[in-house]
């Protein structure tokens, strides 16, 4: 059993801060990034047990669903470093199509809408994911 590693990809500064602060009681190393390029770099450089991902990232050109592109990258890798990363989507813009596609095609661990966000549920999902990966 070791310490878990979590990557939070969220372009909104306030949400990134909230998502991080809610995990302060969980013994894990947490890295945060704000955009798709930084997320790709982080995933290439280190192993993460959990990826907490916003679907819609603002990458300066236009708002898009770069989170789905990141999932595609993650699942197409033959690199053990990324293929066993548990993914949890947290988004205000996810449609039922995105949710179904995420679970079906990308093996999402969970989906949490930003509307009616529940801190205890979020913490429980993360704790359970780390327990399943023998990190807690």
Question: Three-class SS of residue 47?
Answer: coil
- CB neighbour burial string for 49-77, b if at least 16 within 10 angstroms, e if fewer: bbbbbbbbbeeeeeeebbbbbbbeebeee
Structure confidence at residue 118 (pLDDT): 93
Q: How many CB atoms lie within 10 A of CB 89?
A: 24
Average pLDDT over residues 68-82: 68
Region for 134 from its dihedrals, namely left if φ exceeds 0, alpha if ψ lies in -120 to 50, beta otherwise: left
pLDDT in tens, 88-123: 988 877 666 767 766 766 777 888 888 889 999 999
What does CATH list as the number for 4-132? 3.40.50.2300
pTM: 0.85
All structural domains of the chain with their residue ranges: 4-132
87's enclosing H/E stretch is strand 86-91
- CB neighbour burial string for 105-126, b if at least 16 within 10 angstroms, e if fewer: ebebbbbbebeeeeeeebeebb
The residue ranking higher by pLDDT, 107 or 128, is: 128
């Amino acid at each position: 059993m070791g310490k878990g590693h979590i990557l939070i990809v969220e372009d909104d500064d306030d949400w990134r801060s909230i998502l991080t602060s809610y995990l302060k009681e969980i013994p894990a190393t947490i890295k945060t990034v704000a955009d798709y390029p930084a997320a790709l770099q982080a995933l290439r450089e280190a192993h993460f047990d959990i990826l907490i991902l916003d679907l819609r990232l603002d990458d300066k050109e236009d708002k898009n669903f770069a989170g789905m592109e990141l999932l595609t990258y993650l699942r197409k890798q033959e690199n053990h470093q990324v293929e066993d990363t548990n993914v949890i989507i947290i988004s205000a813009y996810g449609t039922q199509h995105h949710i179904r596609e995420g679970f079906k095609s990308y093996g999402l661990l969970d989906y949490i809408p930003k509307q009616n966000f529940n801190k205890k549920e979020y913490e429980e999902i993360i704790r359970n994911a780390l327990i399943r990966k023998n990190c807690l």
